[in-house]
Amino acid sequence: MPLLYAEINKRILKDGTVEYYSVDKDKKNDLHKKIIFKSPYNTLIRRISTQEGVETYLIQCIIRIESNFKADAVSKAGAMGLMQIMQETSRFYNTKDPLDPEENLNAGIKHFKSLLNYFKNDIPLALAAYHAGLGRVKKSMKIPSIKSTIDYVSDIMRIYNGHSISKIGVKVKKLYKRIEKNGTIVIYDK
């Protein structure tokens, strides 16, 4: 059996719950360097993502796949602007001009942040919900088997982490803790 590398992280939720979770730690990722996106909107992206508490680089990865940093992009489905927000999302966040970069980023980043919160910071699930809609993802709590959504999440994760979803493998849904007689704490999945 090959040796696998993993990193166990801890986060404390607003209600005080302590969660431990694993992060795939492939040796190649240690060498991965972030892509530097050249865009006239980088300062604006950084300001708004920082305000909303979302990692700037993740937002840049989303924008790269959504619109390739074209503020006037409109999809066949009607998604608009840098973050390709739909009309319903635009209305929900009181966006007057969804093609205005600042308004679009405000709505798109707030929307993505709400999805991150809903899925407890599970980035692939939040991305899938951003692409396919919250209802489709929360129904099964996994990335729906829609080719365009799988490709979307995979493309963003490849840029963000340096690998695609297919290389991540099965996600650990829950970790368990066992304390051995000698006091050793063992964290495992079932």
Confidence band for 177, pLDDT divided at 50, 70 and 90: low
Active-site residue identified among 55, 66, 88, 103: 66
Q: What angle do CA 52, 53, 59 make, to 5 degrees?
A: 80
Of 59, 65, 58, 104, residue with least CA distance to 81: 104
What are the structural domains, with CATH classification, of the chain? 35-162 (1.10.530.10)
Is residue 66 annotated as a catalytic residue, yes or no?
yes
List pLDDT tens digits, range 40-94.
Answer: 999 999 999 999 999 999 999 999 999 999 999 999 999 999 999 999 999 999 9
Q: How far is CA 122 from the centre of its chain?
A: 7
Q: If you write DSSP's letter for every residue of 142-159 in order, what string do you get?
A: S--S-HHHHHHHHHHHHH
Report the pLDDT averaged over residues 92-101: 96
List pLDDT tens digits, range 110-137.
Answer: 999 999 999 999 999 999 999 999 999 9
